[in-house]
Structure 1
Amino acid sequence: MSAEDIRLTLNRSAIVVKPKQPFLDWLHAADSTSSDLTLQELVLEPAIYLIPECDTPEEVAAVLHELCEEIFVEQLAGWFNDTTTWPPNRSFDVFCRWFDYQHHSMLIDLCDEPLIREWD
């Protein structure tokens, strides 16, 4: 492998977000068509969010305090769009009760294609 073959490390961290039982309980109450869905099925395809670079758990917590409502809303909307069913309190504490998250600080781009943003 030559220096030209070394892949780029992205200047981002990632958060993998997986719903927990309170999310599933909300979904079952909000959407009767989801009544057969299990937590094991729900977490099979977790969402991954790119966030600013974080090196410590404290930095991750600080970023999540700022972004948790946006992530919360995206998770809710991804399953049921009726906002009247959404919990009004989407604070960091509630986020932590409704979701597990895992931080990843090393993101390496192995693709040759340029990144394309949805709005590009």
Structure 2
Amino acid sequence: MILHPTINRSVLLVIPKQPFYDWSNTLFPDLEPTTLAEIDEYNSYLLEDELFIDNPKKELKKYWKKIFINELYGQCMDDTTFPHLTWKLFTEWFDFHRSAVISDLTKDPLYTIDYDE
């Protein structure tokens, strides 16, 4: 049996729901509206190792706004169009799933790209 190395992170997969795309569609009425049926790729976020989602609001407290903003920026760079960010709205606009074990199946080294905030 080959055991692959794991990294000291958990991952959160964030899946937008239709209300998120409804918001985006209102910003760009000249474009074809986006629907869930045409989306098959989602963003993932690395978090602390063994971050368990027993109480999502408590455990994601320091991350959900950053995630929300990142998802909004993926649709529109004009933050004046952003809704008021609340946990309730986050959970209405997104589903999320976690994984506590991240296995690296490649031999390539890990690297990061640091973007200035």
If the TM-score is normalised by the length of the shorter chain, which range does it land in? 0.7 to 0.9
Which sections of structure 2, spanning at least 5 residues, go unmatched? none
1:17 aligns with 2:14: yes
2:99 maps to: 104
Counterpart contact for 1:24–1:38, Cα < 8 Å: yes
1:74 to 2:70 alignment: yes
Higher helix share: 1
CA contact (8 A) 1:13 1:53 kept: yes
User: Given the two structures, how large is their TM-score scaled by the length of structure 2?
Assistant: 0.85
- The change in CA–CA distance for 1:102 and 1:12 in structure 2 (over 3 A counts) is same
Aligned residues: 115
Match of 1:32, SS?
Answer: coil
Q: Residue 92 of structure 1 is aligned with which of 64, 87, 95?
A: 87
Closer, same or farther: CA 116–35 of 1 in aligned 2, 3 Å: same
C-alpha displacement at 1:119, in angstroms? 2.2
- Provide, for residues 54-109 of structure 1, a one-character-per-residue CA deviation record: whole Å limited to 9, x for no partner: 35322654232210110001101011111111112x22221111100011111101
User: Partner of 1:29 in structure 2?
Assistant: 26
Deviation of the 1:33 alpha carbon:
4.2
Provide the aligned C-alpha RMSD in A: 2.0
8 Å CA contact retained: 1:17, 1:99:
yes
> Structure 1 stretches of 5 or more lacking a match?
none
Q: Return the alpha-carbon distance in structure 1 between the equivalents of residues 30 and 90 of structure 2.
A: 24
Q: Identical aligned pairs, as a percentage?
A: 31
1:38 corresponds, among 11, 16, 35, to 35
